[in-house]
Amino acid sequence: MKPIKGIDFDEELASNNSAQFVVAKKPDKSIKASRIIFLLLYTIFVVGYCVLFLVITKIPYVLAILPILVWILYFFTWNRLWKESAFVVDKGYFYVYRVNGRNRATLAEKIHLADTDSIVPATEENLAGIDSSYVQKDYSTDPKCEDRYVMTYSSEGTKTAVYFVASQKLLTAMKYFAKEQTVITQISR
């Protein structure tokens, strides 16, 4: 796997109690709608460019740079529609990174694992205790995905529930730093 820019974690140099796991978000309605809008905008740009230089100004030679302009538009806009989340457990902290289409990560969450209330599978019975007073942050691929976990913690009086997709190695590293709070079940990854 190509290293993600912005994540200061090297799996080869990490200890047995560290892990990294990256998942891509499945396209939901908003991402699909954005893709359709971008495709329509690309088409409008091409048609407008052709009308401007073929009909209005009658300079057909300028059409030669149209593919380059469309590629530039595509290069700088289409990658915004790809979303990934990277989860890292290292030195007692759980890091959540948002990764954009250019393989650049920004830190979204940094949670001290010893301060968590629970790390449990996101099943109906476990979610029953999470009410509207919790701030909900979802970094999983989709709400119905397999291997979806929820981590609850309190920070400065604010109760937060963080949803993420777990791997066996990630959960084992979490269990090392938060023994009582972590519940490990059999997962497919």
Tell me the DSSP string of 142-168: -TT-TTEEEEEEEETTEEEEEEEE--H
pLDDT tens track for 137-188: 888 888 788 888 888 888 888 888 888 888 888 888 888 887 777 777 766 6
Task: Tell me the residue length of the chain.
Answer: 189
pLDDT tens track for 102-145: 778 888 888 888 888 888 888 888 787 787 788 888 888 887 88
- Amino acid letter, residue 14: A
How much is the pLDDT for 14?
Answer: 59
Mean pLDDT on 9-18:
62
Are 180 and 157 spatial neighbours (Cβ–Cβ below 8 Å)?
no
d(CA 81, CA 58): 36
Is the pLDDT at 1 greater than 60? The verdict is: no
pTM of the model: 0.76
Is the pLDDT at 16 greater than 90? The verdict is: no
Is the pLDDT at 40 greater than 80? The verdict is: yes
Please report, for the chain, the start and end positions of each structural domain, with discontinuous segments joined by +: 30-80
Q: Count of CB atoms within 10 A of residue 178's CB?
A: 23
